[in-house]
Chain A
């Protein structure tokens, strides 16, 4: 211990937190999960609330049961409802109080360790997360099962697609059905007022923009449906998974549909994702931090019942960050196909890939073939 220590603590340390405020403030501000004010006052207040709930429920339930026993009445719906309400107060209050006390008695690190150990407890002879599970060998790296569950026809794995097209089509369908259903009801009501000789002009004027939105919803639905059905499927296959920085892999791309393509691109991209609370809203921000062109082709046709096929190779940058997933933050790598076909809007389809961290030196640009 001859060298100088890194010393902190004291009033000037900005790394020291969770100390008791000198003057207890009952009111504080909430910024995301962080709060100003005294954590001790907050804990005591919360524990008191749950304790009060528990006591209220217990006393009320005891009073209800004793009065019922004294009256010698039979069972009734009212008694059952009372027991259910007071028992729920006892459960909520007791559970909340135990949770609060457990939080006070331990640090964030200790709770994290206890939660990890609980996840590894053997349950009826089956370990919930075996040592061989990717989550244990590579903590905070997504499980590779999702990426490897589909074999390829040309290369080893066919990548799953996470394109938003099907979600857009589903959302358009649901919106179109609900909106136009409501529109029909309003139109019939308005029409009946006119037919009955006492026209409701407010309702009539109100119905016009309502129907306009309905017509736009039908147009949008038909456009999404024709895009989904007309452009045809896209498939991407890869020679190995998970990927490792510094290695090269073969990639196969296939595009179906009768199309006159202006261009077709394949990019390897890395996106960062951050989930955060803003007031009472939960927001997700995505930032593209790396993009590498893998394949590009212009001006070609795909014949009816035909398919466009291309093979190319990708090299994962040696200094690339691995895939990462935690509760509120993520780093995703994916192969993105962007197409521009004559008569159709541009489309984009994503195929996530898994990159593991580099655990042993890799010869730069070495191949991983199927």
Chain B
């Protein structure tokens, strides 16, 4: 049985502008207390599409049982961060840039589970047309 990871963004819509404050609450549930060794929360961008995946972490915090009240990592935690001016979310033809809040749970015996809550940063329109549809492939 894998734990349930819940992430909630305190914002009416998952659309933000650079400089906005992202407030986030997360909780890990349906897991025994002794099973949890650490929980990491991060706000990051990553690329999707044809190229190999790249990633940039904007915010990161790691909690271990010693740092949590009552040594219990299953309670709800909160963090907030001011979002950076770039890179903005983008839906391209072969490159996509996605922002997300990620919670990664470390369990006993080296097991890991994570969940992403995606959101948009900025208002860049998707690349809908291509003036030159042919791709150029070089080795």
A and B bind: yes
Determine the chain B residues whose CB is within 8 A of the CB of A327 once the complex forms. 52, 54
Q: Are B56 and A139 in contact (CB under 8 A)?
A: yes
Q: Of A6, A137, A324, which is within 8 A of B7 by CB? A: A6
Q: Are A285 and B54 in contact (CB under 8 A)?
A: no
Nearest-Cβ distance from residue A150 to partner chain B, whole angstroms: 25
Q: Are B55 and A289 in contact (CB under 8 A)?
A: no
Nearest-Cβ distance from residue B95 to partner chain A, whole angstroms: 4
Determine the chain A residues whose CB is within 8 A of the CB of B8 once the complex forms. 1, 3, 5-6
Q: Of B27, B51, B113, B131, which is within 8 A of A291 by CB? A: B131
Does A20 have its Cβ within 8 Å of any Cβ on chain B?
yes
Number of B residues, CB within 8 Å of A: 67
Does B22 have its Cβ within 8 Å of any Cβ on chain A?
no
Within 8 A of B (CB), among A29-74: 32-33, 40
Determine the chain B residues whose CB is within 8 A of the CB of A329 once the complex forms. 47, 49, 51, 54, 95
Determine the chain A residues whose CB is within 8 A of the CB of B49 once the complex forms. 274, 329
Q: Given A324-B97, A357-B18, are A15 and B130 neighbors across the interface (CB < 8 Å)? A: no
Does A169 have its Cβ within 8 Å of any Cβ on chain B?
no
Give Cα A274 to B137, complex, Å: 10
Q: Which residue of the partner chain A has the closest CB to B116?
A: A15
Q: Are B132 and A288 in contact (CB under 8 A)?
A: yes
Number of A residues, CB within 8 Å of B: 66
Of the candidates B5, B44, B86, B109, the one having the most CB atoms from chain A within 10 angstroms of its own CB is B86
Give Cα A322 to B87, complex, Å: 8
Q: Given A1-B25, A319-B123, are A275 and B52 neighbors across the interface (CB < 8 Å)? A: yes
Query: Which 9 pairs show the lowest CB-CB distances between chains A and B?
Result: A291-B131, A274-B51, A5-B6, A326-B54, A289-B127, A319-B125, A274-B50, A288-B132, A8-B115
Partner-A contacts on B (CB < 8 A)? 2-8, 18-19, 25, 27, 30, 40, 42, 44-45, 47, 49-58, 60, 62, 76, 84-88, 90, 92-95, 97, 102, 104, 106, 109-117, 122-125, 127, 129-132, 135-139
